[in-house]
Every structure is written in C-alpha cells, then in structure tokens.
Structure 1
C-alpha cells in the first residue's frame, strides 16, 4: 500500500511538474542617458513651397463658359465639326461632375411652321445629347428640350440673323 501511495505521489508530482509555469527572462533595460542642453543656434529658414490647389470642377466650368451655344446649318440637326470641341468640353465636365445636370435647349430660325421648328429644335437638342452620351455622359444628366422659333437670339431677317437663331444652348440646372 505504501508503494501504491508512493507511485501515486510520483505520478502526481510528474503531472504537476509538466503543468508548471516557467518565468520568462526579464527584458534588459537600456540605460537612461540624459540629453545635455545644446547651445542655441539660429533657426535655419525652412524653404516654403507654394502648391496651388486645383479645383477641377471650377476649371471645367470655366473651360465651357464661352462654349454654351452650338450653331447649326439651315434645316439641319447635324453637329458641325467646328462645335465638336465645345461638346467634348461639356462631356468632360459632366463626366467629372456626375451630379451636374444640364438642359439642352434647341432653337430654330423663324422660317417654317411652328410645329416644324419645334420638331427641328428637339432634333438638334437630341443630336447634342447623342454626342454627349457617346462620350460617356449619362443620359440622365442632360435633358433635351425644344423652343422652336419661340425664343430667338436675334430679331430681324436675313441669313446673319437666322444663323444666330439656329442653335442649342447648354444651360446648367
């Protein structure tokens, strides 16, 4: 019986020895060195750089400020080559500012019936919209509307006056 107790005590001691924790080594502490005050030296000037902040939205608005009117030939709704850069500038701005919306207001000269000119003004506005969408602008950003011959830019008769009235005006909403 003594041997059984001795054997049980030995097993218990072995189990407890396996579960014991060992103390990790203490980290060595670096010696504290006090900084000695340095004599005052004149401050060196720091080179200042001036970087202008670029507001792309404002830049794009300014780029199209003078390109708000696209003119058309008589009885035509084809965007002329000379006005494609203006349409591209608007497309770039609308692609940059996805929340911006515009109204594409189609107009015609006073020749022809009211109905015909309303339809022609609508086709002109839709032609500009098509050019914008081909360049990635969401169709929901631009609304084509027609005023036909109801809102002339210039009054009178003659080709010079009529040419000013055959247009699409791009207006911010």
Structure 2
C-alpha cells in the first residue's frame, strides 16, 4: 500500500485547490491512499517562538504524516504569480529544525497540482516550488505537474471538481504518481 500526504495551499472554504486534492484522493489507484493534511492551524513561523516553545502541535502532526508517507502531493494555488505565503510558511515550519529535513523530505517523491481561475493554471507557483523542493532534497517526478486553468468552469460553487475530462486527466496523473513512488 502506497501512502501520499496531500496538502492544499489554500485556506478558503470552497477552494478549487482543496477540491482538486479531494478529487485526487478519490481518484488515486486502489493500492494508494491519499492522506489529506491541513495547514489551517500552522502559525506564522517565528524563530523566537520555535526557540521558546518548540515545534507547534499542528506542525508536529504534519511532520509525522510526512514521515509516514511514501510521497508528497502539493496542491498549490497561485497568488500574485507565486507561492501562497501561508503554504510556504507551512513547509518552512515542517523543515524545522533543519536537522530534520533529510528525515522528512530527503528523497521523498513529490508532485505538484494546482488550479487557478486564470488561463495559465498555476504554472508560476509550481515553478517557484521547484527550487524549494530541490533545497529540501525531494525527488521530483519529471512528469509530476498538472495545471487546471479556468478553474471556475470545471469546479462547482462548493469547490468540487465536476468536469469529466479534468477528472480523467487527474486520474491518469495520480496513477502515474503512484507508479513513480513505487519505482
């Protein structure tokens, strides 16, 4: 059984990206489980807080889920042509202390998904993740990017992916990512 930790970088209730993650979990191959983590309770990173109080419980839970997972799926919105600050903040916390990076991220297979109302999907946000993932020592799947452009036309008002062609693409993407993890 392959386990993937999936994280959405949006806090919005009807988020396209949270909906994309839910659909990815449902479309994963039968031998693959996608555990949906949450960044909602991750505080802003502050080294003084880390020194005084250690790693916050929400971050400890994410790190434990990541360590137990065989792969990591980042489902990223794009804010102002880049990575959402709240999402980067969560990954920054998860990389603390720095000595834990190899234990949690080192060699971990990673794939990127993203949905955006614009015509280019989340290509710029996904591009911005690549140097971060290299720094963390992850193993990025070369075909491991899927963009959903004009998301308002393929999701309903609650943020559920409803477009059959996009669902089929996502199913193929998840099957390929699971195969990459298992190789």
> Which category describes the TM-score, using the shorter chain as reference length?
0.3 to 0.5
TM-score, with structure 2 as normaliser: 0.34
